[in-house]
Amino acid sequence: MIQLEKLEPVMSFTFNRLQVLFFSLFISLTVIALKWWAFIISGSLALKTDALESVLNIAATILAIIATYQAQRPADANHPYGHGKIEYFSSTVEGGMMLFASFYLFYEGAHGLISGTNLRNLSDAFLFSGAGAVLNAGLGAWQLHHGKRLKSEAIIADAKHLLADFYTTLGVILGLLLVKATGLVIFDSIMGIIVALLLFYNAYKIIEKSAKVLSDIEDPVLIKKIVEEINSPSKPQHIIDVHHLRTFRSGIKNFVDLHLVMPEFWDIRQSHDAAENYCNNINHKFSEECEFHPHIEPCWQKFCARCEVDPCPIRQKPFEARHTFKEEEVALPGEDDT
């Protein structure tokens, strides 16, 4: 197992992540107070749905704090790849809460269309709801930036929820402006239904992404980066072939398995040291933390036409040209792996 520790230590990640989430929790409590007061003084169904969505933000942030703390626990005998995937469970639960809320809000909107609503104090409600929207927009953008920097899926999911909440509030305010301009209170219920549909869509996207990671779907961006390094002029001559490249992500760390074909006349120590140096050199060029697990194979004199090793006491064919690897090629197993 070859591991390269990045410049920023794990404890620093823990502190920064929790700091982001606790600050988000504090601002979200302020937002929910503003939105609930806007609903109470106006009686608007759309503002009620918007306020209920902010309640979900609070629950989601608390869940993200717990998940982020647990994700930083070191690997142990029962979890040899660490606890990073708990963040994706957190995101899935958050998506589930949003999904449940979207059904409830849709029901409320449909009920409002039938029974109608009694609206009042809309001007004051605009003020409080608008203040909450501004706070959500700033907090969501700030949290999304730090979530991407810290490679935290829990923070990113929470940030996207906040930004969706911001656009929801803008829609609600637009609906109420239509009510005030036309006198038709039906726009309040219609906007409540639209909010529910938007919440359903965002819930689906969050659950979809988390499900893909939890099922260890391949990361095409990381594969592309690795293949670019394999094809770079700096690739050592003794790395004759690369295949069976596989990756998966757990929290902030990527795990990379790959098979390296080396000169068969090298001894085990020489091949091991060369593979370790090669993987570490690749890892140095990535911004995210990776853990490489190379498997070393002898060349069996099958790659002479592309092999640049010189001198080579067992060469069967002269060297013809350097091989350019393709992404789909390096993912395939070698002849001896099948």
Write the pLDDT tens digit of every residue in 186-238.
Answer: 888 888 788 888 888 888 888 888 888 778 777 888 889 899 999 998 889 99
Indicate if 179 and 194 belong to the same structural domain. Answer: yes
pTM for the structure as a whole: 0.66
Rounded to whole angstroms, the Cα distance separating 95 from 324 reads 42
Nearest to 235, CA basis, from 278, 184, 268: 278
- Same structural domain for residues 167 and 238? no
Residue 53, judged by CB atoms within 10 A of its CB (0-12, 13-18, 19+), counts as: buried
pLDDT 10s digits, 200-211: 888 888 888 888
Q: Which domain holds residue 241?
A: 220-330
Cβ–Cβ under 8 Å, residues 102 and 196: yes
| Alpha carbon of residue 66 to chain centroid | 17
pLDDT of residue 13: 41
- Domain CATH code at residue 15: 1.20.1510.10
Element spanning 252, H or E: none
* Tens of pLDDT, residues 5-60: 333 333 334 447 788 888 888 998 999 999 999 999 988 878 887 888 788 778 87
Enumerate helices (H) and strands (E) in the chain, giving the number of each: 9, 4
Structure tokens that stand for 142 in this block: 């700030």
Q: Is 7 inside any structural domain?
A: yes
Among 214, 238, 262, residue at a domain's last position: 214
246 forms beta bridges with: 257
